[in-house]
Amino acid sequence: MAKKDAVVLDTGEKIESVGPWMIAWRKFRANKIAMAGLIIFILIVLSVIFVPIFMGIDVHDYDVNIANQAPSAAHWLGTDNQGRDCMFRLFLGGRISIMVGLLAALLTVILGCLVGGISGYYGGVADNLLMRFAEIVYALPFTPMIIAVAATMVWVPQNQKMYTVALLIGILSWPGLARLVRGQILTLREQEFMQACTALGFSDFSKIFRHLLPNVISLVIVNATLQMASAILTEAGLSFLGMGVMPPTPSWGNLMNLARDQRIFQHYPWQWMPAGLMCLLTVVSINLVGEGLRDAFDPKELQ
C-alpha cells in the first residue's frame, strides 16, 4: 500500500493524501461483484487447504464395501467406485488444480516481465530478436501443443505431473504479457524519471527491475489473475483427457473424467458433478476479481 501523508492547508485543516494503491483498493472494495468474487475465491482456497487436513484421510484409503454410496452423514458427498470419500478427493483435487494455476501464472509473469522488460528497454536488435521469438511461441496452437507435449511425457513420475503441466502452460502463455509489458516500457523509458536514473549512473538492471517494471505492476497483476483462471481450465481439460494429473492423485479434471462412464454419469452424479461445479465457481470468482482489478487500476480513475 502507498504511504499515507497529511497535507496541511492554510486554514490549519489536515487532509489525508492517498496514494494510487490505496485509491485502487478503495475502488476495488466499492465493486461489490469483485469483492464477492474475492470472498468466494478465498473461501475455496481455505477449503482446499484445510478440509483434507481436518478429515484425516489418506489419498490411498479405500473400502470396497462402501463403494458407490450416495451422500450420507458419514460421507457428505458419497463414495466412488472404490469406496473412497468423494468430499476428500474433491478438496484435495482442488488443491492440485489451484496450485497448477498459481504456478503457471507465476511462470507466465516471470517470463513475460523478463522478456518484455529487456525488449522494451534496449530496443534495436535485442527487441527484434525477442519479439520475433515471442511471435513464434504465440503462433503455436496452444491446446494442440499442450496435448501433444503432455502425451509424450509418459516418463514423468505421477507425483511430478502437476509441475510438468504448470510448466507447459506457463512456457506457452507468456508472449501476450511480454508484448503488453514491452509497449508500456517503450513509453516509460522516455519519461523524466528515467533521465534522472541515467544522470545518477544507475545500472541497466536497476533501471529495468527497480524503476520500469514496478510502474507496470498493475498491468501484470490483472494479467496474472486472468492467466490463473485460464491455467486451471487448461489443467482440467488435460486431466479430463487423461494427459494431465493422473489417478490416484485427484484433480478436478480427472474427477470430471468419471462422467465419461455412462453408468457413473447417469447413476452416480455425486462422483463427478461437484468437481465441475467447484471448477466453474473458482474460475468465475477469479475472473470477477480480475475484472475488478482491471477497473480499479484504470489510470483514468486514479487521477
- What is the CATH number for 253? 1.10.3720.10
Of residues 299 and 262, more confidence is placed in 262
The answer to whether residue 302 scores a pLDDT higher than 60 is no
For residue 209, the enclosing domain spans 31-301
The mean pLDDT of 248-271, rounded to a whole number, is 88
> In this structure, is residue 113 part of a structural domain?
yes
Is residue 107 pLDDT above 50, yes or no? Answer: yes
Residue 9 domain-assigned (yes or no):
no
Question: Cα dihedral sign for 45, 49, 54, 60?
Answer: positive
238 assigned to some structural domain: yes
Helices (H), the chain: 20-30, 32-55, 86-122, 124-139, 142-152, 161-188, 192-199, 204-206, 217-240, 252-256, 262-267, 273-296
Confidence label for 103 from pLDDT (cuts 50, 70 and 90): very high
Average pLDDT over residues 77-98: 90
Across 197-214, average pLDDT: 82
Classify residue 18: in a domain, yes or no: no
Question: Which pLDDT band, with edges at 50, 70 and 90, does 17 fall under?
Answer: low
pLDDT tens digits, one per residue of 111-147 = 999 999 899 888 889 889 999 999 999 888 888 888 8
Each residue of 27-60: pLDDT tens digit? 888 989 999 999 999 999 999 999 999 988 887 7
pLDDT at 185 > cutoff 60: yes
Give CA–CA dist 36/41, Å, rounded.
9
Q: Which SS3 state, helix, strand or coil, does residue 155 take?
A: coil
Residue 243 has pLDDT above 70, yes or no: yes
247 domain-assigned? yes
What's the predicted TM-score (pTM) here? Answer: 0.82
- Give yes or no for residue 299 having a pLDDT over 80: no
Is residue 25 situated within a structural domain?
Answer: no
Does 154 map to a domain? yes
**pLDDT tens digits along 154-171:** 677 766 777 888 888 888
268-272, 278-282, 298-302, range with the lowest pLDDT:
298-302
Least confident of 54-58, 205-209, 255-259, 295-299: 295-299
pLDDT of residue 88: 92
The count of structural domains within the chain is 1
Residue 79 has pLDDT above 50, yes or no: yes
- Select from 137, 125, 122, 222 the least CA-distant residue to 174: 137
Side-chain half-sphere of 294: how many Cα atoms within 13 Å? Answer: 11
Percent of the chain at pLDDT > 90 equals 26
Residue 10 lies in a domain: no
The pLDDT, as a whole number, for residue 10 is 53
